[in-house]
Amino acid sequence: MHLSNALEATVDGYERTFAVNVMSTHQLLRQLHPHLHPPARIVVTVSDAHFGDLRHTGGTMPSPRWAIPDISRPGAFNRSGNVRAGRRAYVTSKLGGIYLVHEWSRRLPEGVDIIAYNPSLVIGTGLARETAGAFPFLMRRIVPILAATPLVDTPAPAGKKLADAILGATPAPTGAYIHQTKAMPSSTESYNPDREHALWNWLEQLPREQTPRTTN
């Protein structure tokens, strides 16, 4: 989920980007994990946009700003109605996805692994359908040209790489971050046990009737 602002809310009042990318992921895992038995592998899709730097985003994304529970509420970012705030909400939520993976990796039983997977740029995913500014133009006109380079994937090879991550053909220990075909470090900021534990505790204390409900 990538929106053009940080003001949109779910029907129960959570900022929509954070609700879809972090809160709903946690609730899905909470419901699935009693049914998982070793050997099993969970793959959570994240993004190298969580780095928020020139090398990984080409300057198109700002850096994340982590603050729980503030970022779960609409209007938490500076000038939340503009496009840059929407992008900050996105990269922050992807950082949160990695925090979830790290904390779940400590809590799942041995033999049930969880991995953060970054597919990088893949054309045809509809990522920019609810964004604004130059990003939709870039995704429609510029990014497809780069599909002939290692920088951008088309759906078929991207699907094969994701399948390899799911099936374990791409080796990675539980809690790892896979970039397309290889386990590697995520951002320095993404390794923060205090934030990971605080996120877990906040998500776990939410009444079950307040888990995010989204509408299309």
Q: How far apart are the C-alpha atoms of 12 and 84, rounded to whole Å?
A: 24
Q: Give every strand in the sheet of 177-179, ordered side by side.
A: 40-45, 112-118, 177-179, 182-183
Residues 6+ apart with CB under 8 A from 88: 6, 61, 62, 63, 64, 65, 77
**Looking at residue 80, what is its pLDDT?**
95
Pairing state between β 40-45 and 112-118:
parallel
Residues 89-122: pLDDT tens digits?
999 999 999 999 999 999 999 999 999 999 987 7
More confident residue, 2 or 38: 38
pTM of the model: 0.86
- What letter does residue 15 receive in the DSSP assignment? B
Per-residue pLDDT tens digits for 126-146 = 565 556 566 565 656 555 555
* pLDDT > 70 fraction of the chain, expressed in percent and rounded: 82
The pLDDT of residue 211 is above 70: no
